[in-house]
């Protein structure tokens, strides 16, 4: 079995470095499984190219979207690419897992914001990319609410692609935090990597709440890597069952029951 991690892609070189680091960490966690990385756009190799390469082995391929939102890319773009690959390789099983963001990443977000110096009385602005699919944005809002309950701090969620003129959505979020009594604002990117979008939000945070600490992106946090590993299905254990000595008939090799699922 092979695993293909699929990231969106970015013109910012930091993105490819971060997701390559995630791939390397997943490889280290599952050393007996082939793990590759491909992109939907803007970087290479592209998804179709790597799917063709993996399909040549004839082994099943599990595709894991390194996406924090379950929107257009995971519901349309990637399934279209997978369907095209299945037509090219009808004998090869190819499956798409849920997106990375479907896993519970609250602990990794909490670690990042604590590392930024979160202290009593702080409010948190968590910023995600934003999607044309409102279900994806709602999931990010729920993640922010989970984080707030986990930490006991107020959390406002904004979307980097939906800030509006002069960043009014961010300004309003900061104002709401201040009305709850937050004495300071901490910025928290719900992104795998820093980039142009995160920098735009962070510049606006600095404008509206000068001196606010900014947490790091999720990157290859151990809980992120663990969530990806948990999306990899267990490989079947193959054993050879041979006929007893003196019994006529061909030898047989059969797949036994799948190995137990990895513990999270």
Residue 259 confidence (pLDDT): 40
Burial class (CB in 10 A: 0-12, 13-18, 19+), 136: buried
Tokens of 78: 């990637």
Q: Is the peptide bond before 45 cis (omega within 30 degrees of 0)?
A: yes
Decide: 19 and 78 in contact? Cβ < 8 Å.
no
Question: Phi then psi for 18, rounded to 5 degrees?
Answer: -65, -45
2-101+221-231 shares its CATH topology with 105-208: yes
Q: What is the mean pLDDT of residues 197-210?
A: 97
First-residue to last-residue Cα distance in the chain: 20
Q: Which ranges of the chain would DSSP assign to H, the alpha helix? A: 13-29, 47-55, 72, 78-88, 106-115, 134-151, 168-179, 196-208, 222-230
Cα gap 110→147, rounded to integer Å: 7
Arch. (CATH architecture) of 105-208: 3-Layer(aba) Sandwich (3.40)
Residue 238 confidence (pLDDT): 54
Residue 64 confidence (pLDDT): 98
Lowest-confidence region among 122-126, 192-196, 250-254: 250-254
Q: What is the mean pLDDT of residues 220-244?
A: 79
More confident: 25 or 11: 25
pLDDT exceeds 80 at position 263: no
Tokens of 36: 């590759």
pLDDT confidence bin for 240, thresholds 50/70/90 = very low
Lowest-confidence region among 8-17, 29-38, 249-258: 249-258
Give, for 158, the enclosing helix (H) or strand (E): strand 155-159
Tokens of 246: 């003196």
Cα gap 148→143, rounded to integer Å: 9
DSSP state of 105: -
Residue 235 confidence (pLDDT): 73
Domain 2-101+221-231 grouped into CATH 3.40.50.800 = no
pLDDT exceeds 50 at position 260: no
Transcribe 33-99 into DSSP letters: SEEEEEESSSSSSBHHHHHHHHHTT---EEEEE--SS-SHIIIIIHHHHHHHHHHH-TTS-EEEPPP
Decide: 147 and 126 in contact? Cβ < 8 Å.
yes
Tens-digit pLDDT profile for residues 147-189: 999 999 999 999 999 999 989 999 999 999 999 999 999 999 9
Cα gap 111→118, rounded to integer Å: 10
Lowest-confidence region among 43-52, 86-95, 244-253: 244-253
**Domains of the chain: which residue ranges?**
2-101+221-231, 105-208
Sign of CA dihedral 146, 143, 106, 75: positive
Residue 236 confidence (pLDDT): 63
């Amino acid at each position: 079995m092979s695993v293909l991690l699929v990231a969106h892609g970015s013109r910012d070189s930091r993105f490819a470095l971060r997701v390559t680091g995630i791939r390397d960490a997943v490889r280290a966690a599952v050393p007996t499984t082939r793990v590759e990385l491909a992109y939907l756009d803007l970087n290479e190799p592209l998804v179709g190219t790597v799917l063709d390469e993996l399909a040549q082995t004839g082994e099943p391929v599990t595709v894991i979207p390194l996406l924090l939102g379950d929107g257009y890319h995971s519901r349309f773009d990637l399934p279209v690419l997978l369907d095209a690959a299945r037509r090219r390789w009808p004998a090869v099983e190819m499956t798409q897992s849920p997106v990375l963001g479907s896993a519970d990443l609250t602990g990794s977000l909490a670690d990042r914001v604590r590392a930024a110096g979160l202290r009593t009385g702080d409010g948190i602005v968590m910023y995600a990319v934003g999607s044309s699919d409102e279900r994806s944005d709602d999931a990010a809002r729920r993640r922010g609410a989970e984080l707030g309950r986990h930490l006991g701090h107020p959390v406002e969620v904004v979307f980097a692609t939906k800030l509006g003129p002069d960043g009014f959505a961010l300004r309003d979020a900061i104002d709401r935090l201040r009305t709850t009594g937050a004495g300071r604002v901490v910025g928290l990117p719900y992104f795998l990597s820093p980039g142009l979008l995160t920098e735009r939000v962070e510049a606006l945070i600095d404008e509206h709440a000068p001196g606010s600490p900014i947490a790091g992106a999720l990157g290859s946090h151990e809980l992120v890597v663990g969530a990806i590993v948990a999306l990899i299905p267990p490989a079947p254990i193959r054993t050879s069952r041979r006929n007893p000595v003196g019994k006529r008939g061909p030898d047989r090799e059969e797949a036994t029951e799948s190995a137990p699922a990895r513990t999270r």
